[in-house]
Amino acid sequence: MNSSDTALTVRGLGKHFGGVTALDGVDLAVRRAEAVAVIGPNGAGKSTLLKLIAGVHRQDSGTIHLGDRRLDRLPPHRITRLGVALAHQVPRPFHGLTVRDNVRIGAMAAGPPMRGPELADLLALCQLDTKADRPADSLRVLDLKRLEVARALATRPQVLMLDEVAAGLVGRELDEAIDLIRRVHGLGTTVILVEHIERVVRELVDRVLVLNWGRPIAEGTPAEIALDEEVRAVYLGDGGSSGGGAPAANPRDDSQDMKVVEQDASASAVPHGTDGDVLILDNVSSGYGDMLALRDFSLRVAPGQIVTVLGANGAGKSTLCGTLVGTVGSRTGRITAFGRDITRLPVHERARLGIAYCQEGRRVFGDLTVAENLRLGAPLSLPRGEVGTRMERVHTVFPVLAERAGQRAGTMSGGQQQMLAVGRALMADPAVLICDEISLGLAPVAIDALYQALAEINAQGVAILLVEQNVKRALGICDHGVVLSRGRVSYRGGPEGLLDDADLDAAYFGAPASDTSVPTTVTAAATTASGSPARTTGEPS
């Protein structure tokens, strides 16, 4: 690539947050007026890369150049004025101001105020001209996304970075977001996308960089990346450290497998389960602000079952977890736990009923000891003797936590911290344990130990809702599987229905089961923008 044609160059970029490596030796060169996507699973380092370029964080190694100008030693406002802008996934406008004034403030970050024809043209480009005098508070999700892009464009950037700006959009909204980005790129703006929606990547970019654990693993056109076996393994998992490929058929009794339903009026019906289900979701929708991340979701979890929820990044898995524990409010539908309606029940009351949550990212208290972290998971009213009894039960599942009881949690390895996070959830003595991406960022040997522990916990009678990206590993332990795509169910049934690669592609990536040759990047959602039908196992959609 000719240096005179290069808009942005990243060389050997590295970044650590404590003991976590977010980026390690990342190289990227983007031509002027090129559109490039950066993809990868959760925790891959995508957003960190954008924030380093924007100056929000400082790199530990490597360099960043805009043309011939070095950026990585400059403060964020200087980088903005030189021509780099970042639009975020979650818009945060000044709610007391109008749309027009929000855009003017964006322009002030880069230099002279934006007035007259220039401001009018920008508002028209982003289809906000008819809403310029409305308060930002009144905008719905698509217009908030447009405003976020407009504020970034108001800085007059040479390079526009978009961090999942299409997240939460469906159908016509997604069409219009793609059209906006296409128009911006058509004006000659260099675009760097971090995105999880396959269609956005496929329709807009020339080239894709794939990150995993902070390291580049593949680079090429969207069609080339779609066929890359290493990229597929990163997204789907390899079945564990002991061997690749799909796991053997699950030895559990599958006589109560949930049936796949058509994604029409009947799709909202709760699938058949056993009497006395510990958890029931019936037509539940939830999200953030005007953005729905979970749509008409129904599920039953019977006592002692393991249910795995799968889906690409942005599918709604973590929203489902938050909805179950009460940190994300449900808009429609009903949630029942242990025979009680908990739809409007606060978080602490749900915990008292027996629902425990092990969040993504471990979130242990690094300056406290292992024993202190565990004690924080027990109810405050619990007698001291019972606290000790529960801790002994946790130590039986995770002996390393007994060995390191006096060690500061922040000094342990990632795998040991994840064991501590699960152990802390067990201190609540739950009947239902919700685990969100507990294998994320861990070495295979640590994942092996965690999955063995989950099997032991389940054998003690605890029902488990397992949210995972490591598809084949998660399918090897569960009774039932659910695949989410942009908040909707694209597959529901026994895990054996996803063991065939063609069926897995159809449910997870949106590829027709009868045609595995159709290119589809691994960030694909499992439905079309308008929501394709849920698929019966073995039949094409």
How distant, in Å, are the alpha carbons of 212, 310, 434, 435, 532 from that of 320?
24, 11, 10, 11, 20
Token readout for 163 is: 């961090």
Instruction: Report if residue 246 sits inside a domain.
Output: no
Instruction: Report if residue 202 sits inside a domain.
Output: yes
The verdict on 132 and 207 lying in the same domain is: yes
Q: How far apart are CA 152 and CA 83, in angstroms?
A: 10
Instruction: Report if residue 231 sits inside a domain.
Output: no
The verdict on 434 and 418 lying in the same domain is: no
Q: What is the pLDDT of residue 75?
A: 94
Q: What is the pLDDT of residue 508?
A: 57
pLDDT digits (tens, 9 = 90+) for 260-304: 333 333 333 333 344 578 999 999 999 887 778 888 999 999 999
Q: How far apart are CA 256 and CA 32, in angstroms?
A: 57
Sheet with 20-31: list strands edge to edge. Answer: 20-31, 6-17, 61-66, 69-70
Give the confidence band of 496 by pLDDT, cuts at 50, 70, 90.
Answer: confident
Instruction: Report if residue 445 sits inside a domain.
Output: no
**E strands within 167-254?**
190-194, 207-212, 215-220
Q: How far apart are CA 424 and CA 429, in angstroms?
A: 10
Q: What is the pLDDT of residue 4?
A: 67
Q: How far apart are CA 427 and CA 379, in angstroms?
A: 8
Q: How far apart are CA 284 and CA 482, in angstroms?
A: 15
Instruction: Report if residue 249 sits inside a domain.
Output: no
For tokens 């063991």, the residue is 499
The verdict on 120 and 81 lying in the same domain is: yes
Instruction: Report if residue 451 sits inside a domain.
Output: no
The verdict on 98 and 212 lying in the same domain is: yes
Q: What is the DSSP string of 20-83?
A: EEEEEEEEEEEETT-EEEEE-STTSSHHHHHHHHHTSS--SEEEEEETTEE-TTS-HHHHHHHT
What is the pTM (predicted TM-score) of this model? 0.62
* β-strand partners of 538: none
Where is the domain boundary, 210, 226, 242?
Answer: 226
Give the confidence band of 504 by pLDDT, cuts at 50, 70, 90.
Answer: low
pLDDT digits (tens, 9 = 90+) for 305-332: 999 998 877 778 889 999 999 999 999 9
At 159, give phi and psi (nearest 5°).
-125, 120
Mean predicted lDDT score pLDDT of the chain: 82
Sheet with 330-337: list strands edge to edge. Answer: 291-301, 279-288, 330-337, 340-341
The verdict on 349 and 376 lying in the same domain is: no
CATH number of the domain at 159, please.
3.40.50.300
The verdict on 147 and 212 lying in the same domain is: yes
- Degrees, nearest 5: CA angle 183-188-191: 75
pLDDT digits (tens, 9 = 90+) for 341-388: 999 999 999 999 999 999 887 788 888 999 999 999 999 888 989 999
pLDDT digits (tens, 9 = 90+) for 227-271: 888 887 776 655 443 333 333 333 333 333 333 333 333 333 333
The verdict on 528 and 470 lying in the same domain is: yes
Give the confidence band of 151 by pLDDT, cuts at 50, 70, 90.
Answer: very high
Q: What is the pLDDT of residue 510?
A: 52
Tell the burial category of 68 from Cβ atoms under 10 Å away from its Cβ (0-12, 13-18, 19+).
Answer: exposed
Residues 6+ apart with CB under 8 A from 479: 250, 252, 254, 256, 257, 305, 306, 307, 494, 495
Q: What is the pLDDT of residue 212?
A: 87
Q: What is the pLDDT of residue 540?
A: 26
Q: How far apart are CA 330 and CA 373, in angstroms?
A: 30
Q: What is the pLDDT of residue 284?
A: 93
The verdict on 343 and 371 lying in the same domain is: no
Number of domains in the chain: 3
Token readout for 29 is: 């060169």
Describe the crossing of helices 414-426 and 384-397 by its angle, rounded to 10 degrees. 140
Q: Which one-letter amino acid corresponds to residue 94? A: F
Where is the domain boundary, 412, 429, 446?
Answer: 429
Q: What is the pLDDT of residue 110?
A: 75
The verdict on 14 and 93 lying in the same domain is: yes
The range of the structural domain enclosing residue 389 comes to 363-429
Q: What is the pLDDT of residue 204?
A: 95
The verdict on 106 and 18 lying in the same domain is: yes
The verdict on 418 and 434 lying in the same domain is: no
The verdict on 195 and 301 lying in the same domain is: no
Instruction: Report if residue 494 sits inside a domain.
Output: yes
pLDDT digits (tens, 9 = 90+) for 376-403: 999 988 898 999 999 999 999 999 999 9
Where is the domain boundary, 226, 249, 266?
Answer: 226
Q: Compute the radius of gyration of the chain from its Cα atoms.
A: 24
Instruction: Report if residue 387 sits inside a domain.
Output: yes
Mean of the pLDDT values across residues 18-34? 91
Higher pLDDT, 155 or 262: 155
Q: What is the pLDDT of residue 501?
A: 63
How distant, in Å, are the alpha carbons of 34, 83, 190 from that of 31?
5, 15, 7
